[in-house]
Amino acid sequence: MEDYKKEFIKFLLNNNALRFGEFTLKSGRKSPYFINTGMFCDGKSVAKLCNFYAAHIVKVLGAEKVDVLFGPAYKGIPLCVATSISLATSFGINKPYAFDRKEAKGHGECSNRKKMIVGHELKNGEKVLILDDVFTTGQTKIDTAELLKDIADVKFAGVLIAVDRMERGNDNENAIKEFEEQTGIRVYSIISVKDIIYYLEKHKKTEEAEKIKKYLEKYGV
């Protein structure tokens, strides 16, 4: 496993953003682990979190393939702002950001939909990277892509999330794969649940690792 993945998992654990136990997900499933990036709620931790996002953009995606960072409300908002800052301060790369006003979502003409976007004014042909914490269902990301397409004829550099849980949706389909096939937009993640299992086994936390393995046997892709 790459060093940055080990560092990211350690960072999640140290900030209680990766927890073990029994957690009821929105889907109703009982999960032996839980990811909560909402634990990063101060300047130091958010800066470090988004430095991982920025590093992934530079080293894996390629910064030249991204024109704009977009953060869907609400959790995506601090991600896109702080990642933009991290790209500038840590890598010397200046990228604009934008996010939507969730409370104003609805149907309407393009001129009204433009008012839903805060920050950079999207332009035709720009390559947009959507930043979020996790990928639960593809529908929310599809809604975001459709909103942006209504505003300008943008292209998509992808979706970047913190952790890929690598599990099926409620319809037993791979939500990420289904989204990629439907939209042509690729989903990237800093780490996956398999990286977490590997890390736990290497650090002699076999009980937690085995519980996650059993969970994936039932719900994994």
Name the residues annotated as catalytic.
Answer: 105, 107
User: How big is the chain, counted in residues?
Assistant: 221
Closest CA to 134 of 98, 173, 156, 160: 160
Contact of 76 with 131, CB cutoff 8 Å? yes
DSSP E strands, the chain:
18-24, 30-35, 68-71, 97-100, 117-119, 127-131, 155-164, 187-192
Question: What does 62-101 look like in DSSP terms, one character per residue?
Answer: -GGG-SEEEE-TTTHHHHHHHHHHHHHHHH-----EEEE-
Q: Is the dihedral of CA 109, 115, 117, 120 positive or negative?
A: positive
Beta bridge partners of 23: 31
In the numeric block, which tokens belong to residue 135? 């990928």
Q: d(Cα 48, Cα 11) in Å, to the nearest integer?
A: 9
Q: What distances in angstroms separate CA 124 from CA 135, 149, 174, one per listed residue?
A: 26, 9, 31
Within 8 A by CB and 6+ apart from 208, the residues are 20, 32, 33, 200
